[in-house]
């Protein structure tokens, strides 16, 4: 009887987790596709930036690097979604009085975060694809992809990025507008260090080794390096396995830390009510 009751309880908990994840995914996806302005921004910002840099490479006589700019335009769509939507979502929910509902509801916080992540990915994929298709059609950069390595790198990079977004969500929740200011301050430096549009690691990097070491702590840096290797230089899984191991370790560590952080904040909010106070 005890075993049966535990089994039923586990099934109910799993069902609640997946229902919560689905609901949050649906809301996030609906909000992205339901606002034309956000769609235009999500497409226009990475498209204009990557096309401008591709023209710069071409006019400088290094048109072979135009593919790097297009790839960067594809990945910056996801990075922007992590930085401006995923990380800030709980802060916005708190301002609107929704976060209190999260605290008192039985819905698992991890399911809410995973749903936010999946909704953000689903909402960002069309704009990323459009940037890639238009850029590749116009500039036709040379590529020799290893599809297995490319797919594995992309999945691990996205997982690590959104795990980082989960962790940032808890920080933004606590620090409010201070975190929003930090968001604006670190956005462009991270884009520069991560090498979205040019190699920031290895012999081709313009950065000294000390800067490269700091940049390698950012999941996007490792991901971009591995994506370039597998897309333009046909390197297989064995050739880029150090990058894949690093991305896996980053993703696992960020997921564990973000879960512990949010569990702590949730208990604190239920006990003291301090998390649900709105910052002004």
Query: Over the stretch 200-243, which tens digit does the pLDDT of each residue have?
Result: 888 888 889 999 999 999 899 999 999 999 999 889 999 999 99
Distance, CA of 150 to CA of 235 (rounded, Å): 9
Report whether pLDDT(99) > 80: no
* 24, part of any domain: yes
* 64, part of any domain: no
Q: Which value, to the nearest 10 degrees, does the dihedral of the CA atoms of residues 199, 200, 204, 210 take?
A: -170
Looking at residue 228, what is its pLDDT?
Answer: 92
Which among 219, 198, 197, 193 is positioned nearest to 208, based on CA atoms?
A: 193
Residue located via tokens 């059609």 = 137
Kindly report which listed range (49-53, 90-94, 122-126, 213-217) carries the lowest average pLDDT score: 90-94
If one counts the domains in the chain, the total is 1
Which among 30, 257, 227 is positioned nearest to 164, based on CA atoms?
A: 257
* 267, part of any domain: yes
Residue located via tokens 């819905």 = 107
Residue 107, both tokens: 């819905």
pLDDT tens-place string over residues 135-169 = 888 888 888 889 999 999 999 999 998 888 888 87
* 252, part of any domain: yes
**Are 200 and 113 spatial neighbours (Cβ–Cβ below 8 Å)?**
no
* 217, part of any domain: yes
* 224, part of any domain: yes
Looking at residue 34, what is its pLDDT?
Answer: 65
Domain with 199, as residue range(s), is: 2-34+77-123+143-272
* 134, part of any domain: no
Residue located via tokens 């390096």 = 225
Distance, CA of 214 to CA of 219 (rounded, Å): 11
* 53, part of any domain: no
**pTM of the predicted model as reported, rounded to 2 decimal places:** 0.81
């Amino acid at each position: 009887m005890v075993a049966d009751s535990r089994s039923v309880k586990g099934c109910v908990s799993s069902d609640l987790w997946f229902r919560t994840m689905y609901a949050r995914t649906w809301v996030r996806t609906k909000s992205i596709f339901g606002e034309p302005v956000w769609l235009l921004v999500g497409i226009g910002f990475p498209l204009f930036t990557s096309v401008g840099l591709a023209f710069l490479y071409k006019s400088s006589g290094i048109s072979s690097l135009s593919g790097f700019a297009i790839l960067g335009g594809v990945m910056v769509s996801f990075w922007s979604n992590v930085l401006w939507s995923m990380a800030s979502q709980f802060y916005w929910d708190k301002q609107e009085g929704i976060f209190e509902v999260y605290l008192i509801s039985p819905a698992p916080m991890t399911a809410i975060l995973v749903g936010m992540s999946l909704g953000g990915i689903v909402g960002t994929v069309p704009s990323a694809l459009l940037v890639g298709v238009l850029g590749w059609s116009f500039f036709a950069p040379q590529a020799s992809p290893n599809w297995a390595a490319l797919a594995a790198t992309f999945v691990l990079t996205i997982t690590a990025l959104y795990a980082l977004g989960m962790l940032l969500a808890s920080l933004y929740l606590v620090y409010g507008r201070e975190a929003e200011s930090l968001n604006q301050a670190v956005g462009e430096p991270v884009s520069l260090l991560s090498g979205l549009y040019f190699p920031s690691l290895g012999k081709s990097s313009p950065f000294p080794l000390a800067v490269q070491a700091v940049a390698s702590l950012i999941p996007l840096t490792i991901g971009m390096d591995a994506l370039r290797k597998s897309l333009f230089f046909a390197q297989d899984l064995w050739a880029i396995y150090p990058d894949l191991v690093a991305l896996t370790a980053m993703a696992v560590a960020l997921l564990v830390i973000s879960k512990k952080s949010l569990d702590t904040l949730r208990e604190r909010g239920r006990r003291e009510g301090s998390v649900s106070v709105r910052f002004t």
